[in-house]
């Protein structure tokens, strides 16, 4: 890794100022944005998703996720919304000018594992996503993404809805 990339990354973290204190994962996001690997040589989002799938297979629902820790306030986050069903917060590694997540407080590991009794909760997540997108000024549109399983590059086994906007989205996405 070149020294200039490290200097740029460090400058980005320093420029973040007080935001860095609210988002402990900011350095991770800056490293990703600068193209620096956060897991070592050869790792990328696909590799992260495969590692997360292996962890899920090994530990299942018993191991808390980063999202469980955000819900319990063990880990700080820039929270946009909270109610009895869900929590919404800014992504620590934004892929666009606006990028936030909406997560259920009830842990559903994958969208493909949702049950019929989760229908109201799933609708609520999308309604909150829409409401927050409007508050964030995404009047020209935005993308809503739910990754599912290893092939869907799901990296946290706690259902989460990405809302990404503030720029022109490209198609196909991946």
Which tens digits make up the pLDDT trace of 103-123? 999 999 999 999 999 999 999
Which of 99, 158, 160, 162 is flagged as catalytic?
160
Q: Where are the alpha helices (DSSP H) in 23-161?
A: 26-33, 45-59, 66-71, 119-135
CA distance 127 to 170: 24
Q: How far apart, in whole angstroms, are the C-alpha atoms of residue 5 and residue 52?
A: 27
Interval 82-107: pLDDT, tens: 999 999 999 999 999 999 999 999 99
Token couple for 15: 């420029």
Per-residue pLDDT of 114-165, as tens digits, reads: 999 999 999 999 999 999 999 999 999 999 999 999 999 999 999 999 999 9
Residue 162 is among the residues annotated as catalytic for this protein: no
């Amino acid at each position: 890794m070149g020294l200039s990339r490290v200097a740029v990354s460090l400058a980005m973290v320093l420029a973040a100022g007080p935001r860095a204190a609210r988002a402990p994962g900011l350095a991770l996001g800056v490293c990703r944005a600068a193209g620096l690997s956060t897991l070592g040589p050869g790792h990328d989002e696909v590799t992260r998703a495969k590692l997360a799938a292996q962890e899920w297979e090994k530990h299942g629902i018993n191991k808390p996720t980063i999202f469980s820790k955000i819900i319990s306030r063990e880990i700080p986050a820039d929270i946009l919304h909270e109610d009895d069903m869900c929590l919404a917060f800014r992504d620590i590694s934004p892929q666009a000018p606006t990028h936030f997540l909406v997560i259920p407080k009830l842990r559903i590991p994958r969208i493909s594992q949702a049950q019929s009794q989760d229908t109201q909760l799933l609708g609520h997540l999308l309604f909150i996503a829409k409401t927050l997108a409007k508050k964030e000024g995404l009047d020209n549109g935005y993308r809503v993404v739910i990754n599912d399983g290893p092939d869907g590059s799901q990296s946290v086994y706690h259902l989460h809805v990405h809302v990404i906007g503030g720029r022109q989205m490209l198609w196909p996405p991946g």
